[in-house]
Amino acid sequence: MARRKRTRYVNRDGFARPKPADMSRIVGLGGSLRAASFNSGLLRAAAELTPAGTTLELHGVADIPLYDGDQEEAHGIPAPVAALKDAIAAADGLLIATPEYNASIPGVLKNAIDWLSRPTDDIARVFGGKPVALIGASPGGFGTILAQEAWLPVLRKLGAAPWFGKSLTVARAGALFDKDGNLIDEETRDKLRDFMAEFAAAIG
Ligand code: FNR
């Protein structure tokens, strides 16, 4: 009899190991296409600072096409969308790193979530009761607070469970990240470490 393939993951020490039953898994979704994105950098830092016993698997939106109902009708759900849906469905929690555009949600990230909500009768499998944490960074003084608020009606519509245990809005990001978008500010890293510890505890 063929041996069942076991899921493998790479821990922070770089060694692949089978996933123990008590390991929590979070999917991290970054909402920017920019190479040196603050929000992608925030998510990378979150992966480094996620506590032992929890993994943060990083995803982006670069492979997600623009939503087009005609394309959906003709070809169904695109492969990158289906893969991301399955990853979220299998995860214990979702962490969204949202940029803020014009005091709200950036289009590329909303587009991705709109695709992930198709078809409607699959929403409950992907998002139903899923703990969702929001973080974000912007060069302005309010650090994506309006974008994070703007996500709440969307999450409610999807039947997700927004997590309000801690808040992380990273303002004046230009001074906290290096030119490649890596989070270098120790105080912000400490806040992010605390945030991840509490989110991991909440979903664990
Ligand atoms: C912005 N930006 C911005 N920032 C903010 O704090 N509040 C806002 O309302 C807006 N509005 C806005 C609109 C548009 C169209 C753009 C392109 C930008 C600035 C934004 O936070 C900045 O570009 C960040 O660097 C975007 O995030 P990433 O790409 O660094 O992750």
Q: Check residue 175 and give its pLDDT.
A: 98
Average pLDDT over residues 63-73: 98
Average pLDDT, the chain: 92
Average pLDDT over residues 100-120: 98
Take atom 14 of ligand 1 and give the residue whose Cα is closest.
Answer: 101
For the CA of 140, the closest atom of ligand 1 is 6
Q: CA 121, 123, 125, 128 torsion: positive or negative? A: negative
| Euclidean distance between CA atoms 157 and 113, whole angstroms | 12
Take atom 27 of ligand 1 and give the residue whose Cα is closest.
Answer: 99
Q: Check residue 10 and give its pLDDT.
A: 38
* Residue spans per domain, the chain: 23-203
For the CA of 99, the closest atom of ligand 1 is 27
Rounded distance from Cα 124 to ligand 1 centre (Å): 31
Q: Does the beta carbon of 138 lie inside 6 Å of ligand 1? A: yes
β-pair partners for 58: 28
Rounded distance from Cα 33 to ligand 1 centre (Å): 12
Nearest in space to 9 (alpha carbons), one of 46, 52, 38: 52
* DSSP SS3 for 25: strand
Which of 138, 149, 182 gets mutated to test ligand 1 (max ligand atoms within 8 A of its CB)? 138
The model's pLDDT over 147-183, given as tens digits with 9 standing for 90+, comes to 999 999 999 999 999 999 999 999 999 999 999 999 9
Rounded distance from Cα 63 to ligand 1 centre (Å): 21
Q: Check residue 20 and give its pLDDT.
A: 58
Say how many C-beta atoms besides its own lie within 10 A of residue 184's C-beta. 13
CATH class of 23-203: alpha beta
Q: Check residue 201 and give its pLDDT.
A: 97
The model's pLDDT over 3-54, given as tens digits with 9 standing for 90+, comes to 433 333 334 444 444 455 579 999 999 999 999 999 999 999 999 999 999 9
Q: Which two tokens stand for residue 28?
A: 């991290």
The model's pLDDT over 138-155, given as tens digits with 9 standing for 90+, comes to 999 999 999 999 999 999
| Euclidean distance between CA atoms 8 and 127, whole angstroms | 24
Average pLDDT over residues 62-67: 98
